[in-house]
Chains A and B, each alone.
Chain A
């Protein structure tokens, strides 16, 4: 390979979803079913509400899983919503998620895919 170049992807969004340990799998499943192409998961420890709740704080797991999904702007709403519902985030203590716009994304994109676009 003599020439190397970078293809930037624009109009990309990042969905970050922080849930209790063990619930990442179903959130991930929902994200993939609604069109997300991949995800990154890592473990973390959360704090905040747990301390403020007093004894009820034991009901919230300190161990968290963070799921990060890069989606296209078009997909973002649907994937976001699917993940929200799959993670039961409308119930207390289940987690939090946010969507952020990305300036640019770069990764390996097969030539055939690019050709098909044009």
Chain B
């Protein structure tokens, strides 16, 4: 290189000082004093990167909904400022909450997971994990969505659904939590014993399906099915999955079984099946203790009496703050109890952990505000105007905009694209894709998994929308789909079963769930369907089928390729079955 080139490419001033000068009086490990400017330089990238991450998840989705509503449905966005504020609250709340989760809650999970098995008996460990399952369910951001949308159910059409969502919310969340707890216990035992997932799926699904059929034959209970099956999708969010996994893997490591590449899988599947069962049992219990007529009667009395008597605690910022604190605090207290009393150890880096815990509570409160005014509002709005594409509805002057068939096709395409885009953008799916690619030695490519899951979710959401519009019975869709899923499970290898069944839970994040729930409820009201639940449950089973099908295609392809190489004449299907 020429010296002139060198001079030209080096533009920056150099200065040297001896490190000796800096280390002269640094023997005392005092805290560093930071000036305002330095603190700002530290804090700015820290905040922006975290907020940007959530913006990437929220803004495209919101923009898609708003633009579709404006251009295709020709209906201007209502309450634009409140909506904008709500979405900002969602972004901020999620950013703060996720940071709190990783600096505050996760260290607890890791410490407990590493130390608990060494100091406590297996039974105690399992009990703690079970209680933790309840705690994390309360802390799950999306679970607030279920409670928030309860009031929109029509008591006369679906009395039990109304009753459970309005007067039994605490037992409902408790039951869902208990389901997650049992799932966590079974998942942990599975880690340690190295059980196969397949029989577990068969054993768990059998009672779920029996309960579903039982509820289906009771016309009053039929409306509860959508809620019950949706609860499964709601539970497997950003709090439950990492916390339960970190505990489970810690325990599996302590038992010497943690090295299996599949050890992380399966918990999500269990955690989405058991809550369904729990909610169905709760519904049965409610149906035995109170009759539909009583519910309708008391709901009438309620609406007559309580309207004037609204305390300040029921108003906007306060009710969200109470919900937020109530969501996180029990989990934190329980984790502290385990750490201090059972493990008798202390927190490393106490200041930062406390900061993280405070953040997670604040974030949850802000997110709850955003849930009501941002995601919930935008979803409800889009859902209630959606039928304007194919039928006459009072709120839109120009409806029906298109002929019935064209309008319906547009709505389905809208739902499909919504599901596809939202799923593809989910960071958890990307992570799962990489894991799966490594797990299958590249046979199942990352993009292949991402696309099959996304198409699955998209199909599920489209089916769900179609279910609402044509008021198809949910069970008649779900049961055959699960039957297909089970048959595919039977023919798939263990790896694909693990990946396939977990992929459904991974994709339902804290942004998609409330949005889709709200949209379903809004649409349900607009086309006067009995209830707007069920979309999420369909969005859970379809990706399972998609991934399992993809897995079987890959298996068969591999067999064919091998057979051609060996110029053997064995029937590929026979080989596949034998290997299983």
Contact = CB atoms under 8 A, between A and B. Distances in A.
A60 B42 contact: yes
A74 interface: yes
Given A59-B46, A60-B42, A78-B10, A52 B355 contact: no
Nearest to A22: B49
A59 B29 contact: no
A93 B34 CA distance: 12
Nearest to A52: B32
B38 A92 contact: yes
A102 to B, nearest CB: 20
In this complex, the member of B6, B31, B103, B356 whose beta carbon has the largest number of chain A beta carbons within 10 angstroms is B31
Contact of B41 (A34, A58, A81, A92): A92
A49 B356 CA distance: 19
A6 interface: no
A56 B9 contact: no
Interface string B216-246: 0000000000000000000000000000000
Interface residues of A, number: 20
A58 B46 contact: yes
A55 B103 CA distance: 12
A4 to B, nearest CB: 33
Nearest to B37: A92
A12 B99 CA distance: 42
A54 B38 CA distance: 14
B88 to A, nearest CB: 22
B317 to A, nearest CB: 26
A91 interface: yes
A57 B546 CA distance: 45
B570 interface: no
B42 A92 contact: yes
Contacts of B43: 56, 59
B42 A56 contact: yes
Given A78-B9, A78-B10, A54 B31 contact: yes
20 contacts: A34-B9, A51-B349, A53-B32, A54-B31, A54-B351, A55-B351, A56-B34, A57-B352, A58-B46, A58-B352, A58-B356, A59-B43, A59-B46, A77-B6, A77-B10, A78-B6, A91-B45, A92-B38, A92-B41, A93-B42
Given A77-B10, A78-B9, A81-B10, 6 more contacts: A49-B32, A58-B99, A58-B355, A58-B356, A60-B42, A78-B6
Interface of B: 1, 6, 9-10, 12, 29-32, 34, 38-39, 41-43, 45-46, 99, 103, 349, 351-352, 355-356
